[in-house]
Amino acid sequence: MAALSPYKADFLKASIDGGVLKFGSFELKSKRISPYFFNAGDFYRADLLQAISTAYAKCIIEAHKSGQLDFDIVFGPAYKGIPLATAATDKLAQLDPETYGKICYSFDRKEAKDHGEGGNIVGAPLKGKRILIVDDVITAGTAKREAIAKIEKEGGIVAGIVVALDRMEKLPAADGDDSKPGPSAMGELRKEYGIPIFAILTLDDIIEGMRGLASPGDVKKTEEYRAKYKATD
């Protein structure tokens, strides 16, 4: 496998050094027990926020330049997506003010507000605009489906999704038998909505980059987890 590009390698190192990417034993939303966990809520220190916003911005710029992504608004689903989308918008304008100086951000409320300005959305109105969803992790894709539904209800057009980590896992089997091969959440979302989805890091990237940064035991357990749960696409 090719070495990680410099911005991905920097981001992985910052995530491990900052304790955002942890190794151990963690129960996921899906109930799978994972030897690693990425908690985007832990990017709360200024230098870590800089690291993640730089990585999102570089990933978005790369996707934009490749012609696969065009957008007007960066949308962060509540709660964890909110600081990520806001910081990414700020970083985009810092890195390339001419292209991204007028890009907007927006996010949703978990509870609808019925007084004051009301509504479910804070920030730029979504109606008729191309929306880029910025979120933390894709495992089964449920959280992204909810965000897409909210955006479409507001009249926005979902242009794409950028996440910090694609865990590359097969969707949980309907019959509970996880030993069979299966498609990924990312692949299914791409097909279902016809939108491009980008990840700063994938599980393959983590395994490639963690050697030297994590213990050989953690590398081995993460490889075993990948062998068990990696999707076919």
**Among 126, 138, 161, 200, contact with ligand OMP (rule: CB under 6 A):** 138
Of 61 and 84, the one with the shorter C-beta distance to ligand OMP is: 84
**Among 85, 88, 137, 147, contact with ligand OMP (rule: CB under 6 A):** 137
For residue 127, give every residue at least 6 positions away whose Cβ sits within 8 Å of its Cβ, in sequence order, or none.
154, 155, 156
Round to whole Å and give the CA distance between 216 and 211: 7
Round to whole Å and give the CA distance between 32 and 152: 31
Bridge partners for 37 per DSSP: 22
Catalytic residues: 113, 115
Round to whole Å and give the CA distance between 217 and 197: 32
Round to whole Å and give the CA distance between 170 and 178: 8
Q: Should residue 143 be labelled a site residue for ligand OMP when binding is judged by CB under 6 A?
A: yes
Of 61 and 137, the one with the shorter C-beta distance to ligand OMP is: 137
**Among 136, 154, 166, 205, contact with ligand OMP (rule: CB under 6 A):** 136
In the complex, least distance from residue 67 CB atom to ligand OMP, rounded to whole angstroms: 27
Pairing of β 21-27 and β 33-38: antiparallel
Binding positions for ligand OMP, 159-188, rule CB under 6 A:
185
Q: Should residue 142 be labelled a site residue for ligand OMP when binding is judged by CB under 6 A?
A: yes
In the complex, least distance from residue 96 CB atom to ligand OMP, rounded to whole angstroms: 28
Q: Which residue is nearest to ligand OMP (CB)?
A: 139
Round to whole Å and give the CA distance between 231 and 184: 5
Q: Should residue 225 be labelled a site residue for ligand OMP when binding is judged by CB under 6 A?
A: no
Round to whole Å and give the CA distance between 180 and 193: 25
- Kindly indicate which of the ranges 43-51, 55-63, 104-112, 141-149 contains the residues binding ligand OMP, using the contact rule CB under 6 A: 141-149
In the complex, least distance from residue 28 CB atom to ligand OMP, rounded to whole angstroms: 4
* Contact characters 30-69, ligand OMP, x per CB under 6 A: x------xxx------------------------------
Q: Should residue 108 be labelled a site residue for ligand OMP when binding is judged by CB under 6 A?
A: no
Amino acid letter, residue 151: I
Round to whole Å and give the CA distance between 63 and 182: 27
What SS3 state is found at 153? helix
Q: Should residue 140 be labelled a site residue for ligand OMP when binding is judged by CB under 6 A?
A: yes
Bridge partners for 212 per DSSP: none
List residues near ligand OMP by CB under 6 A: 28-30, 37-39, 136-143, 185
